[in-house]
Amino acid sequence: MSALTSLTLKGALDGLDAGAFTSVELTKAHIEAVEAARGLNAFLVETPERALSMAAASDARRALGAGRPLDGIPLGIKDLFCTQGVPTTAASKILEPFVPSYESTVTSQLWRDGAVMLGKLNLDEFAMGSSNETSAYGPVINPWRKAGSNQALTPGGSSGGSAAAVAADLCLGATATDTGGSIRQPASFTGTVGIKPTYGRCSRWGTVAFASSLDQAGPIAKTVEDAAILLTSMSGHDPKDSTSLDVPVPDFAAFVGKSVKGLRIGVPKEYRVDGMPAEIEKLWADGIAWLKDAGCEIVEISLPHTKYALPAYYIVAPAEASSNLARYDGMRYGLRAEGSNLTEVYENTRAQGFGDEVKRRILIGTYVLSAGYYDAYYLKALKVRRRIAEDFDNAWEKVDAILTPTAPSAAFGLGENSNDPIAMYLNDVFTVTTNLAGLPGLSLPAGLDANGLPLGLQIIGKPLDEGTVFSVAGAIEKAAGFKTKATKWW
């Protein structure tokens, strides 16, 4: 059974095509792995019966010779995507109990392409967090541990459940979302591959909103090729999302393995931050050397407004969140608390339903949008956001893609940063710029630190140029030869 869960998504598709095993067998192996891994707290809802019936339907399709792009592949779904008839929590008490009567566009496309749903994955509450510790249902535990230590580490956030489930071989891939780094930082912390595509590639319809101008869905997977296969299914125009881009979706997997010879790769000097571990500097240098060997031209570039990206983000994202989360008023769905009048009902519902980090961000957002502060904070942040986007526009005149570290550290211990919001926010220092500029960014594992924990490199691409990002990632994956898995302890 373990042989089936250790397959890559592509390997499993090939095996299904060759008739080496059925989707029911493949799905059963993953259901058993999910049940045996409850100690990781990666799944909030398990849907084994639905998985088996979807797998049986897939096997029946295959028997007729009509295989679809993801036919029979068991996936995990971040519990931010609405799934018809299956509870959706956003890891918040305020949505309890919420059972959507509709399916998100992204997940409906995965089912259209034949994928099988194993269940819903844990996350930071409303995707607000970098360590999974803001989940109302307790944090996910990283399958990785420091060598010789039993300390529980964070899988990163907010897509910590997605990253941990893929790293622990509980599913062949997972959906995730990224508003400031929530796909890429967890991928880096768990030795997995994650991509946030260009803003507008994936429909936001049916995905619980955090900050609508920044939120993008994307996959977390075991390999670059697997991530490319999943992104192809997840992408595409959707009239139900007015920011969804009406552009053709290429076969992203065709870009993996393509030569990168002659590509110009930018290395931004501003991404060398104080206190960055020497191992991450070294990994970055390795990445540069690998791409040079593959025939790329390395170009030093400047993205001068990088240091202002996080402070700008912590105005824009909370402002949008305070507006988006106004809908949780206890009237139409979820929790309703008691109160002596309508205002009290609202106030008590939201006080009981939201966790501390979500409240903190709603308060910041409300403050920066309130009369007298709107121009000084919100409008200022939107102007800085343009400066950051212009930095990239200037860079694209000189380079085809950009290489950076994904995160400023490896996975840290649960509880280590939870008392200092700003220290936690700094996790996203290298990833948040692409959300503000709407660009694709991919993280892939490229090495281990001295404690044996995985470290990721990030590739940033031009708008809608995920293809080049996948080609560069494929070249680094091949050169790095990263094959290490977390040693099973759960």
Task: Tell me whether residue 46 or residue 329 sits nearer to another protein (CB atom).
Answer: 329
Task: Tell me whether residue 97 or residue 295 sits nearer to another protein (CB atom).
Answer: 97
End-to-end CA distance of the chain: 17
User: Measured between alpha carbons, how far is 363 from 104 in angstroms, rounded to an integer?
Assistant: 29
Interaction of residue 93 with another protein, rule CB under 8 A: no
Task: Tell me whether residue 222 or residue 350 sits nearer to another protein (CB atom).
Answer: 350
Task: Tell me whether residue 102 or residue 489 sits nearer to another protein (CB atom).
Answer: 102
Q: How far is C-alpha 208 from the chain's CA centre?
A: 14
Asked if 316 and 213 touch (Cβ cutoff 8 Å), the reply is yes
The catalytic residue among 182, 235, 244, 409 is: 182
Interaction of residue 330 with another protein, rule CB under 8 A: yes
Residues 6+ apart with CB under 8 A from 271: 303, 306, 404, 405, 430
Q: Is 230 left (phi over 0), alpha (psi -120 to 50) or beta?
A: alpha
For another protein, the binding residue among 171, 245, 402, 457 (CB under 8 A) is: 245
Task: Tell me whether residue 280 or residue 388 sits nearer to another protein (CB atom).
Answer: 388
Site for another protein in 261-290 (CB under 8 A): none
Interaction of residue 387 with another protein, rule CB under 8 A: yes
DSSP code of residue 83: B
Site for another protein in 412-451 (CB under 8 A): 421-422, 437-438
Interaction of residue 354 with another protein, rule CB under 8 A: yes
Binding mask 176-215 for another protein (x = CB under 8 A): -----------------------xx------------x--
* Rg of the chain (C-alpha set): 21
The catalytic residue among 158, 162, 188, 235 is: 158
Within 396-446, residue ranges assigned H as helices are 421-425, 432-437
Interaction of residue 50 with another protein, rule CB under 8 A: no
Q: Smallest gap, in angstroms, from Cβ of residue 397 to another protein?
A: 18
DSSP code of residue 142: P
Is residue 159 part of the annotated active site? The answer reads: no
Q: Smallest gap, in angstroms, from Cβ of residue 376 to another protein?
A: 8
Asked if 486 and 144 touch (Cβ cutoff 8 Å), the reply is yes
**Degrees, nearest 5: CA angle 457-439-360:** 85
Is residue 383 part of the annotated active site? The answer reads: no
Interaction of residue 314 with another protein, rule CB under 8 A: yes
Q: Quote helix, strand, coil % in the chain, to nearest 5.
A: 45, 15, 45
Interaction of residue 344 with another protein, rule CB under 8 A: yes
Q: Smallest gap, in angstroms, from Cβ of residue 377 to another protein?
A: 7
Task: Tell me whether residue 31 or residue 312 sits nearer to another protein (CB atom).
Answer: 312
Question: Taking contact as CB under 8 A, which single stretch among the options 64-72, 158-166, 288-296, 300-308 is the one that binds another protein?
Answer: 300-308
Q: Smallest gap, in angstroms, from Cβ of residue 243 to another protein?
A: 5
Is residue 6 part of the annotated active site? The answer reads: no
Question: Taking contact as CB under 8 A, which single stretch among the options 139-147, 239-247, 250-258, 454-462 is the one that binds another protein?
Answer: 239-247
State which H helix or E strand residue 402 sits in: strand 401-405
Q: Smallest gap, in angstroms, from Cβ of residue 357 to another protein?
A: 11
Interaction of residue 366 with another protein, rule CB under 8 A: yes
User: Measured between alpha carbons, how far is 338 from 308 in angstroms, rounded to an integer?
Assistant: 42
Asked if 212 and 324 touch (Cβ cutoff 8 Å), the reply is yes
Torsion sign over Cα 207, 41, 15, 223: positive
For another protein, the binding residue among 39, 97, 138, 415 (CB under 8 A) is: 97
Asked if 165 and 174 touch (Cβ cutoff 8 Å), the reply is yes
Within 64-200, residue ranges assigned H as helices are 105-112, 160-167, 184-190
Interaction of residue 379 with another protein, rule CB under 8 A: yes
The catalytic residue among 10, 28, 78, 462 is: 78
- How many Cα atoms within 13 Å fall on the side-chain side of residue 176? 39
Starting from the edge strand earliest in sequence, which strands make up the sheet with 74-78, in order?
43-46, 116-121, 74-78, 173-178, 216-221, 193-196, 441-448, 454-461, 401-405, 264-268, 297-301
Classify strands 43-46 and 116-121 as parallel, antiparallel or unpaired: antiparallel
Asked if 15 and 6 touch (Cβ cutoff 8 Å), the reply is no
Q: Smallest gap, in angstroms, from Cβ of residue 172 to another protein?
A: 31
User: Measured between alpha carbons, how far is 153 from 66 in angstroms, rounded to an integer?
Assistant: 43
Question: Taking contact as CB under 8 A, which single stretch among the options 69-77, 106-114, 182-190, 382-390 is the one that binds another protein?
Answer: 382-390
Q: Smallest gap, in angstroms, from Cβ of residue 488 to another protein?
A: 39
Phi, psi angle pair for 120, to nearest 5°: -110, 135
Question: Taking contact as CB under 8 A, which single stretch among the options 4-12, 119-127, 251-259, 354-362 is the one that binds another protein?
Answer: 354-362
Question: Taking contact as CB under 8 A, which single stretch among the options 121-129, 145-153, 255-263, 365-373 is the one that binds another protein?
Answer: 365-373
**Looking at the annotation, which residues are catalytic?**
78, 158, 182
Residues that bind another protein (CB under 8 A): 97-99, 101, 199-200, 213, 239, 242-243, 245-246, 305, 307-308, 311-312, 314-315, 322, 326, 329-336, 339, 341-348, 350-351, 354, 359-360, 362-364, 366-367, 370, 373, 376-377, 379-387, 389, 421-422, 437-438, 463
